Chains A and B, each alone.
Chain A
Amino acid sequence: MLYQPSTVAVAAFAVFVAITLGLSFYLGAKARSSQGYFAASGGIPWFVNGVAFAGDYLSAASFLGICGMIAFYGYDGFLYSIGYLAGWVVALFVIAEPLKRLGRFTFADALDSRFNSRGIKLAAAISTLAVSVFYLIPQMVGAGALMRPLLGFSHAAGVLIVGGIVIVIVATAGMVSTTYVQFIKGGLLVLFCAALTVMILIRGLSADVNAARHEAAREQAADASSPPMLGLETIAAANLPPPDMALVPPAGAWQGKPYVRARDAGNRISTWRIDGDRAVLAQTVTATADGQTLVDGLPRGAGGGQAQLRPVGSVAELPGNAQQTGSLGPLEYLGVLQRSRIVVWASEKVAEPDGGTTTVYFPQVRDGKDLLFPGASPTFKGVRGETFVEKLDFLSLMLALFCGTASLPHILIRYYTVKDQASARKSTVVGIASIGFFYILTLYLGLGAMTSGNLDVTNSNMAAPLLARTFGEFPFALISAIAFTTVLGTVSGLIMAASGAVAHDLVANYFGVAMTDHEKVRIAKIASIFVGIVAMALGIVFEKMNVTFLVGWAFNVAASANLPALVMLLFWRGTTKQGITAAILVGMVSSLAWILASAQTYKDVYGLPPETALVPFSQPGIVTIPLGFVVLVVVSLMTRAPTAHARSA
């Protein structure tokens, strides 16, 4: 089986959680004031804060999602890496220092520093909450996705456990413990991924399907419950069905599709995809009308009369027909891959006549050259299209990633945890160094997973942990534990940002409730429990959504709502408080509305045909970010004070 609850993984997870909670209680005893709770008293050393940036930023989506996307589609996943990192340049060069100079606790403070306007406080608090919650969904979905295969909990139980631990962390100690959790996790993640990359390069590439499942995985295969890897198994189409199997006549939507299905004596249905005069063996997963999951027509499981999916992902042909490359240098690895032919798996959904849905996963041989260039995935295929409109999705996402980082509330609040601007600067540079290094590693981790022979066709998020398993049980346990801490860290950072927005911006500043320092911290803690519960509920509801995609949307919303306000406040003297409020609200509402009306949401959320979507492409950024700027300028001009003196008062 691809996933067995592993004792080592459970133990490693327990140790990590224990250390995290211990640290949290220890530091919690020190942070009594609101200054301490929200901003760690400005006392975090810059290096720690820099690595904590990496911890905040390298969320489950970056780590699991990008590796998975590269493992399935090659370069397209790496586009996210490039965009996510480029966003830091905006943060460092444009936003970091003014924000540090203007604000105290939250992003709303900085925006409001010149105006003291209730409107701005409200708008900024709402957008912080909206972005945090939007960004929390994929983290929680990721938590559930990880817990189930690794520890054997259900999705809901996984989400509840992570949510519970995070609430304890945030409610006990606030920003200090959140920062140290992020520091530990960020450091471990980068170091461990570097080690894994070295192992991948030493292993090199292999065209032998069996050798591609390396020793640790082979040991598993010796275990009878573990199905062998499935590479490219072809047969002449004329020889179908095989003599010992009975043809399943195509019914309903199967008619006219290029598939031949046959049932063996044990009732297992094999599916071949016809390509010219050859047919290649596929795998199927059926969700039946009554809620069962079937693999190749049998119930999922390792026992008799049950079937399970076989791991995939291999090199079909190395340059010069070599069998093994031996160890490779970093560029050499990419060069060899570019000249190889690789088996990647695509999928197609077929409606069953009885109301169920079968997903057919079938292998395709693609040129390495093709995979190491943008446009191989369904999300980005428009970039290779002929028309400008097809390319807009790509351009829009690259813009949103570039602008989004500097607008994420949990990143912004981290600027208040260091003592001065010079420290803010230095910690951002440390952050960029660790994050950039990590993103270069993602390319190798992803490509390593693509050719590791241990991919799960149904779940790209598991590519990195499964890759680690091919190196043995210990790396697997370690990477799983780090992945949990990743989720914990990012979730606690986000909940921190959201609870700060509620207590500081909404209750204290907007409603003008007079509170002692102590009461403010208590309100924030209560808010963090509420936000945590909301996040858990959403994490359970959105179980099936693709994690990386959700994060892309969170970036779109953050960039559209927050960036115009931040940038114009810093660089245009004519900005008015009404302009800022309007820009935040319009940016947030328009980008959310666009997302809800997009083809992707139609397909994944409502289950409607994507062609009927109201907007022409799925990523709103290219429209809604400029819209935010336009609204800000127009409203500011309309509400401008008659004389410059009146405004500066």
Chain B
Amino acid sequence: MAHFTSHDAHPREQECKATTARNARVGLVLFAVYLAFYAAFVVLTAFAADWMQTEIARVNVAIYSGFGLIVGAFVLALAYLCLCRSNARD
């Protein structure tokens, strides 16, 4: 709880416009990637049920894609963390 020591009511962080804009761009690209996967999952489930029921190693594609969407969100989040630059100090 070392952080409770800050006396300044709300220290606004130093902002660098270029960094912020760059981070936002990275975020949007990754968002678009994830959105594509999510939309594909929803559409395939609704309109290509047979294909989603295909089994690979005794488990159906619907389950793999569910797990994939959850793990994928984490992987993209890590990628975002690595790609973003911090403002001034961290």
Contacts and interface: CB of A to CB of B under 8 A. Distances in A.
A273 interface: no
B57 A429 contact: no
Query: What bracket does the count of chain B residues touching chain A fall in?
Result: 35 or more
Interface string A411-428: 000000001111001101
Nearest to A434: B74
A422 to B, nearest CB: 4
Contact of A92 (B13, B69, B77): B77
A521 interface: no
B43 to A, nearest CB: 8
B45 A89 contact: no
Interface in B61-86: 62-63, 66-67, 69-71, 73-74, 76-78, 80-81, 84, 86
A299 B84 CA distance: 64
Contact of A88 (B3, B9, B13, B73): B73
Nearest to A370: B53
B73 A85 contact: yes
B87 A373 contact: no
Interface hub of B20, B63, B71, B78 (most chain A Cβ within 10 A)? B63
B77 A428 contact: yes
B9 to A, nearest CB: 5
A11 interface: no
B13 A30 contact: no
A375 B42 CA distance: 12
A101 B42 contact: no
Nearest to A426: B81
A82 B65 CA distance: 10
Interface in A392-438: 394-395, 398, 402, 419-422, 425-426, 428-429, 432-433, 436
A420 B87 contact: yes
Interface of A is mostly: helix
Interface of B is mostly: helix
A92 B80 contact: yes
Given A82-B70, A93-B34, A422 B77 contact: no
Interface stretch (A40-48, A143-151, A556-564, A588-596): A40-48
A439 B70 contact: yes
23 contacts: A43-B5, A79-B66, A81-B66, A82-B70, A88-B73, A88-B77, A89-B31, A89-B34, A93-B34, A331-B58, A334-B63, A338-B55, A383-B46, A391-B47, A398-B42, A419-B6, A420-B13, A420-B87, A421-B87, A422-B86, A425-B81, A426-B81, A428-B77
Interface of B: 1, 3-6, 9-11, 13, 15, 20, 23-24, 27-28, 30-31, 34-35, 38, 41-42, 45-47, 49, 52-53, 55, 57-60, 62-63, 66-67, 69-71, 73-74, 76-78, 80-81, 84, 86-87, 90
Interface of A: 30, 33, 35, 39, 41-45, 75, 78-79, 81-82, 85-86, 88-90, 92-94, 97-98, 101, 104, 331, 334-335, 338-339, 369, 372-375, 383-384, 391, 394-395, 398, 402, 419-422, 425-426, 428-429, 432-433, 436, 439-440, 443
Given A75-B66, A79-B66, A338-B55, 12 more contacts: A42-B10, A86-B34, A89-B73, A90-B31, A94-B31, A97-B27, A331-B57, A372-B62, A372-B63, A419-B3, A428-B77, A440-B67
